[in-house]
Chains A and B, each alone.
Chain A
Amino acid sequence: MKVFKLIIKNTLRHRLRSILTILGISIAVMSFGFMRTIVTAWYAGVEASAANRMITRHAVSFIFPLPLSYRDQILKIPGVEEISYANWFGGVYKDPNDWNNFFPRLAIDPETFLDLYPEFILSAEDREAFLRERNACIIGQKLALQQNLHRGDIITVDGDIYPGRWDFVVRGIYKGRDKTVDETQMLFQWKYLDEQVKQTQPGREGNVGWYVLKVKSASDIPIVAKTVDDMFYNSNAGTKTETEKEFQQSFVSMSSAIITSVKMVSYVIIGIILLVLANTIVMAARERTREYAVLKTLGFSAVHIVGLIGGESMLIAVSGGLLGLAMTFPIARGFATIFPTFFPVFNVEPLTIVLAISSALVAGIVAALFPTMRTLRTRIVDGLRQIG
């Protein structure tokens, strides 16, 4: 028989109490893991940003357009290797009150855009079909699954930013290079948008929402940003050029209060884990004061006592932590399935796993500190007198 066996037997002594504690910890760890996943999902766009891509948008706001004529001027700036552009299309697909019908719809310059975003993997056939037809579009495979869309299907959108009824033909389905790539977007030809706008709203044509710049190296970023913005400083449409990461971060910053609240709640949950476990371990150690005194009488050292109390605490904490972590994955998957458009990328990140387990481990250690110190300080003769 080893001391570890005694730890297990002690843990199982009050089965209901131990099981309830493990369940309590597991629910807390699951909640912590789920909330951290929400926070990381919020930052998914930021994390997926490429280091050599920059965004040039209107200096006032992203919603104001920039002239297409800027493209050639920007492309001449030293350090800029490639350029593309896009527009936020918006619009309403099917029932506007159903969140599942919301997905990003972007007008893009297909040749350059797809070259600049190699993380969107499209077959050669799909690419060719997309380029061949003016009102063709490509969609992410996640969106295709959600909306049961196939190649050849028509997506009809009621325009809001660009009024009218718009029909797009699905000609390709892209896959993400990895799980951080948003597979819920619909991309269509910018020329289709521009031609339609020219006919229905003359004067709005020839505008883009933002430019995407590919720079030769990350060290070119500051000088390119300054050169672009200086170039259009005195024009009607001043620009703001920043890294793609900063651009994405600006969207996240709009929700900073919510993110901070979620983070705060996740930290509170760690406190709850600690209190639930500490309560159990303090009770268990107090009940066994006499037994620990007997062990000390028999010659068991302080190290053994620390091992027994700490081991029990860690066993419960780790069991709860692992169970909670195991529950986090189906909960996250379920959330992503029920609310597919809330977060385009919703994965339990390795860092979340590490943090969730670490929280349980730290709780296990901290919860054992007080009862262990109390037991070690109790004199044998006083411990032997303890009843109950």
Chain B
Amino acid sequence: MSIVSVDSISKSYWRDSQEIPVLSNISFEIPEGEFLALMGPSGSGKTTLLNLIAGIDKPTKGEISVAGTKISSLNESELAKWRARNIGFIFQFYNLMPVLTAFENVELPLLLTSLSKKERRERAEFALKIVGLGDRINHYPKQLSGGQEQRVAIARAIVTDPTLLVADEPTGDLDKISAEEILKLLDRLNTEFKKTIVMVTHDPRAAERAHRSRHLDKGELS
């Protein structure tokens, strides 16, 4: 069963009056529980495609459905709510709030839910335990290594138990050992917790962890 359905989407940007096509007539599906790697050279449109699937950008043409919701027809407010419920984001540069502790960063998406303070605490602590940082909950991002920061970011991504995890170059800013730990963690989330993951990477070793790889080049998928 497909959890993501991308149907004939195109995406262009405009610079002054010049149209710059980024994605051209792309269609594919992602089955539930899959770990998909999107590969391709810089500027091939990988991140743009990921952003479209995650609902933080809109296609110029075509339709995207995630877990049965046609996200291209949602307005900004509906999309924000939809993202909060369905998408977990992992960024290349972690994007943690520097003024918040690891626990507070992980708790952040839960503030948008109706969970009680106790429930939020339990969930955030559980997510941090899953990523192996149960003993670092009161540390600020600047007190953590890059790999640890990315694990906090992963905990933040999974804390709401989202339908889909999207990761944009999650190992791109890490050394080899830390990158391996993050990939192992993603693999565990996929196999043990049955999370569907879409990961953008240009690192072949990272892509090897995925079940399937798709290549993007000049806006076309192969």
Q: Which of B54-97 contact A (CB under 8 A)?
A: 54, 56-57, 76-77, 80-85, 89, 91, 95, 97
B146 within 8 A of partner (CB): no
In contact, A2 and B111 (Cβ under 8 angstroms): yes
In contact, B83 and A1 (Cβ under 8 angstroms): no
Q: Which of A259-296 contact B (CB under 8 A)?
A: 290-291, 294-296
Q: Which of B51, B80, B84, B89 contacts A381 (CB 8 A)?
A: B51
In contact, B99 and A381 (Cβ under 8 angstroms): no
In contact, B80 and A299 (Cβ under 8 angstroms): yes
Q: Which of A2, A5, A297, A300 contacts B56 (CB 8 A)?
A: A297
In contact, B99 and A13 (Cβ under 8 angstroms): yes
A177 within 8 A of partner (CB): no
10 contacts across the A-B interface (CB closer than 8 A): A6-B97, A291-B97, A296-B80, A297-B56, A297-B83, A298-B83, A298-B112, A299-B80, A299-B109, A301-B81
B107 within 8 A of partner (CB): yes
Q: How many residues of B contact A (CB 8 A)?
A: 27
Q: With A6-B99, A294-B95, A298-B83 as known contacts, state yes or no: A381 contacts B111, CB within 8 Å.
A: no
- Chain A residues lying within 8 Å of B91, measured Cβ to Cβ, are 294, 384
B residues adjacent to A (C-beta < 8 A) = 48, 51, 54, 56-57, 76-77, 80-85, 89, 91, 95, 97-100, 104, 107-109, 111-112, 156
- Chain B residues lying within 8 Å of A299, measured Cβ to Cβ, are 80-85, 109, 112
In contact, A380 and B56 (Cβ under 8 angstroms): yes
Mark each residue of chain A from 1 to 43: 1 if its CB lies under 8 Å from any CB of chain B, else 0.
1110110011011000000000000000000000000000000
Interface size of A as a range: 20 to 34
Minimal beta-carbon separation of B203 from chain A (angstroms): 20
In contact, B56 and A9 (Cβ under 8 angstroms): no
A residues adjacent to B (C-beta < 8 A) = 1-3, 5-6, 9-10, 12-13, 290-291, 294-302, 379-381, 384
Q: A299 — nearest CB in chain B belongs to which residue? A: B84
- Chain B residues lying within 8 Å of A298, measured Cβ to Cβ, are 83-84, 89, 108-109, 112, 156
Minimal beta-carbon separation of A217 from chain B (angstroms): 63
Minimal beta-carbon separation of A358 from chain B (angstroms): 30
In contact, A381 and B57 (Cβ under 8 angstroms): yes
Minimal beta-carbon separation of B170 from chain A (angstroms): 14
CA distance A10 to B100 in the complex (A): 9
Minimal beta-carbon separation of B131 from chain A (angstroms): 17
- Chain A residues lying within 8 Å of B85, measured Cβ to Cβ, are 299
CA distance A381 to B109 in the complex (A): 19
- Chain A residues lying within 8 Å of B111, measured Cβ to Cβ, are 1-3
Minimal beta-carbon separation of A101 from chain B (angstroms): 59
In contact, A1 and B57 (Cβ under 8 angstroms): no
In contact, B100 and A9 (Cβ under 8 angstroms): yes
Minimal beta-carbon separation of B63 from chain A (angstroms): 19
In contact, B80 and A300 (Cβ under 8 angstroms): yes
The 6 A-B pairs of least Cβ separation, nearest first, read A299-B84, A9-B99, A380-B56, A294-B95, A299-B83, A1-B104
Q: B104 — nearest CB in chain A belongs to which residue? A: A1
CA distance A277 to B83 in the complex (A): 34
CA distance A300 to B97 in the complex (A): 14
CA distance A297 to B98 in the complex (A): 17
In contact, B57 and A379 (Cβ under 8 angstroms): yes
- Chain A residues lying within 8 Å of B100, measured Cβ to Cβ, are 1, 6, 9
Q: Most chain-B CB neighbours within 10 Å: which of A9, A296, A380?
A: A380
Minimal beta-carbon separation of B57 from chain A (angstroms): 5
- Further contacts, 7 of them, CB under 8 A, given A300-B84, A384-B91: A1-B104, A299-B80, A299-B85, A300-B112, A380-B51, A380-B56, A381-B51
Q: Most chain-B CB neighbours within 10 Å: which of A1, A12, A13?
A: A1
- Chain A residues lying within 8 Å of B76, measured Cβ to Cβ, are 302
Minimal beta-carbon separation of A368 from chain B (angstroms): 19
Minimal beta-carbon separation of A388 from chain B (angstroms): 12
- Chain B residues lying within 8 Å of A12, measured Cβ to Cβ, are 99
Q: With A1-B100, A1-B111, A9-B100 as known contacts, state yes or no: A301 contacts B95, CB within 8 Å.
A: no
Q: Which of B83, B89, B99, B108 contacts A10 (CB 8 A)?
A: B99
- Chain B residues lying within 8 Å of A13, measured Cβ to Cβ, are 98-99
CA distance A3 to B99 in the complex (A): 12
CA distance A300 to B108 in the complex (A): 10
- Chain B residues lying within 8 Å of A302, measured Cβ to Cβ, are 76-77
In contact, B107 and A1 (Cβ under 8 angstroms): yes
Minimal beta-carbon separation of B158 from chain A (angstroms): 13
